[in-house]
A and B are shown apart, each in its own frame.
Chain A
């Protein structure tokens, strides 16, 4: 409270609300404390198998089938991202931009993790809903997925990180300018469903699952590991040069 009180009066109430909100999420509790508020159980959860939520969205209304939703994935400075392309991976980049089909699951490659050089992660991203931008603004306003070191550190430790990205409701938006430092995720307990929590604050659009799963050694199992290599679309003007072979695939699976 002392720190909050010395801040500018304009932000004091907003920051206090954030502290209380985050404190409520971080603090532990009995599993019964996190029971659904209503007298119902949600049909879909973030813990469902990858692709379940997105495929269910395809059955809903709206032009979602066959739409390539632009997505941008960023991380801490220096972290490199790559996507499967052809027989290998695309060239690593610090800002991975691509159009993903809704309902498909894409596994991407993370390298150059700070504090864990040499360690590689293969998380998945599942686009479960789309945005409706004005014409020719789709690629300028992709779904921004910003990963941080906590995600990587937790995944390397053997645990599973599930991030649900949601479109914030401007009516209930946090009155703080969004930067790379202020864009911190809400932490929820393991007894809560992050998809349900995200649904309360906005419209969930993507699910990122970060674990420590590594590609299988046998090449025949790679399509299953990469969820069938679903199609994706590069951004206009972006170079999609990729290795002709699997040189940038870890040596263990060659």
Chain B
């Protein structure tokens, strides 16, 4: 502990001397991009949708001012929305340009996504996969891709791959047929008695307009708002009792402060004071603070503390596999072929045995027969899974030495 503190302080001192001058400039924050004002050149680069063949030789700005059509108005709105659209082509207008006309930017829309539009494969979703004593796997969900192996020490390990997401939305529909033929009802008067002649002319007679009236068979009367009583009187507060331990709040805070991780204790304080006199540079997030040797800084403010400290201990000779999965495309339509690749690499300190890679395909992925490619000799096995797809399993015939890697490629058709 003491040696590391010596080293760190010495390193900071050396860095101080080297970057002392340069640190003066680091305080001046240069904007990464200066705001670009809309210019005429911006307007002339925009072609409204659908007007390329109509207003081929017409000045766009003047045409927009006069033309009330939707294309020109949307383009004009796009200009007034002060979005930087320099360099966009027609192919991106509906994707981003037109939809910016009402303030909807692609950046704003990209914050939202629907997982139902993506086809995911890989990882270990849901319950964690475990291997039972009979070599079978439990908790393997559709989409999961894992590798399980045995280390030289005889320990069984399971490692999940990363998740590959394809944008592949699929639409279906629900149809309902209805109409007057099936459930229609005509309402009319069966008969009507109306006096003829001058009989009873002094009595009021009903009109000729017939209206259907529906009587209420049963009504449940519920109390409305008139049943509520407004309470405007104040609530007495004299009965509120104070907390008995309120006087000890400061003491509690002091105790909390003393428990912070960065507090120096014991002999560390002496060491800190000893080396603090030797001109130390304290680096913050955005700037460098420089102190000159033999001049103590009047105050030291640190706004960062250690949030966590993790120690990784690896056993000697312990093999570890890293599995990664990738696809050759980011989006696919039904019927498209996607090539998946699974790469397994031994990044540990010892060889691993009984390496088995399992890819449980999701419902909408169909394995293309005879599409497997692998440079190593593997035993390939397929089983129908609960998602009505296939569970692919590769078993390496040879142990995987340190640093060795195996890449498996196969193709799937998107359903």
Interface residues of A (CB under 8 A from B): 9-11, 13-14, 46-47, 62-63, 65-68, 70, 86, 99, 131-141, 143-146, 150-151, 154, 158-179, 183, 185-190, 192, 194, 197-198, 201-203, 205, 208, 231-241
Please determine whether A179 and B104 come into contact, CB atoms closer than 8 angstroms. no
Choose among B169, B175, B388 the residue that contacts A186 (Cβ–Cβ < 8 A).
B175
Q: Can you name 8 extra interface pairs (CB under 8 A) apart from A138-B94, A170-B363, A175-B387?
A: A132-B110, A132-B117, A141-B331, A161-B175, A162-B175, A186-B174, A201-B172, A239-B53
Please list 24 pairs of residues, one from A and one from B, whose beta carbons are closer than 8 Å in the complex, sorted by A's number. Answer: A63-B108, A66-B104, A67-B99, A132-B109, A133-B117, A135-B96, A145-B173, A158-B180, A160-B177, A161-B175, A161-B176, A162-B176, A162-B177, A163-B175, A165-B171, A167-B171, A168-B171, A187-B176, A190-B177, A197-B174, A233-B70, A235-B94, A236-B90, A236-B92
Q: Is B80 an interface residue (CB 8 A)?
A: no
Choose among B50, B102, B179, B181 the residue that contacts A234 (Cβ–Cβ < 8 A).
B50
Q: Give Cα distance in the complex from A114 to B167, angstroms.
A: 35
Please determine whether B172 and A159 come into contact, CB atoms closer than 8 angstroms. no
Q: Give Cα distance in the complex from A172 to B386, angstroms.
A: 11
Q: Give Cα distance in the complex from A173 to B111, angstroms.
A: 26
Q: Is B74 an interface residue (CB 8 A)?
A: yes
**Which of chain A's residues have a CB closer than 8 A to the CB of B108?**
63
**Which of chain A's residues have a CB closer than 8 A to the CB of B363?**
170-175
Q: Give Cα distance in the complex from A159 to B119, angstroms.
A: 38
**Which of chain B's residues have a CB closer than 8 A to the CB of A166?**
171-174
CB distance from A103 to the nearest CB of B (A): 13
A-B contacts, CB under 8 A, total: 221
Q: Give Cα distance in the complex from A24 to B118, angstroms.
A: 29
Please determine whether A173 and B364 come into contact, CB atoms closer than 8 angstroms. yes
Chain A residue nearest in CB terms to B387: A175
Count B interface residues, CB 8 Å.
Answer: 66
Q: Give Cα distance in the complex from A208 to B171, angstroms.
A: 14
Q: Is B170 an interface residue (CB 8 A)?
A: yes
Contact of A236 with B94 at beta-carbon distance under 8 Å, contacts A159-B181, A170-B362 already known? yes
Choose among B70, B114, B415 the residue that contacts A173 (Cβ–Cβ < 8 A).
B415
CB distance from A155 to the nearest CB of B (A): 9
Contact of A65 with B366 at beta-carbon distance under 8 Å, contacts A46-B176, A176-B415, A239-B53 already known? no
Please determine whether A188 and B175 come into contact, CB atoms closer than 8 angstroms. yes
B92-103: CB near A (< 8 Å → 1, else 0) gives: 111110110111
Chain A residue nearest in CB terms to B413: A177
**Which of chain B's residues have a CB closer than 8 A to the CB of A144?**
171
Q: Is B284 an interface residue (CB 8 A)?
A: no
Contact of A194 with B116 at beta-carbon distance under 8 Å, contacts A136-B92, A159-B181, A179-B335 already known? no
Please determine whether B175 and A185 come into contact, CB atoms closer than 8 angstroms. yes
**Which of chain A's residues have a CB closer than 8 A to the CB of B116?**
167-170, 202-203
**Which of chain B's residues have a CB closer than 8 A to the CB of A13?**
388
Please determine whether B102 and A179 come into contact, CB atoms closer than 8 angstroms. no
**Which of chain B's residues have a CB closer than 8 A to the CB of A9?**
384
Q: Is B257 an interface residue (CB 8 A)?
A: no
CB distance from B121 to the nearest CB of A (A): 10
Please determine whether A178 and B415 come into contact, CB atoms closer than 8 angstroms. yes
Which residues of chain B (59-96) have a CB below 8 Å from chain A? 69-70, 74, 90-96
Please determine whether A63 and B104 come into contact, CB atoms closer than 8 angstroms. yes
Chain B residue nearest in CB terms to A201: B172
Q: Give Cα distance in the complex from A198 to B116, angstroms.
A: 14
Task: Select the residue from B95, B98, B390 with max chain A CB neighbours within 10 A.
Answer: B95
Contact of A141 with B167 at beta-carbon distance under 8 Å, contacts A175-B389, A179-B335, A239-B53 already known? yes
B184-225: CB near A (< 8 Å → 1, else 0) gives: 000000000000000000000000000000000000000000
**Which of chain A's residues have a CB closer than 8 A to the CB of B90?**
236-237
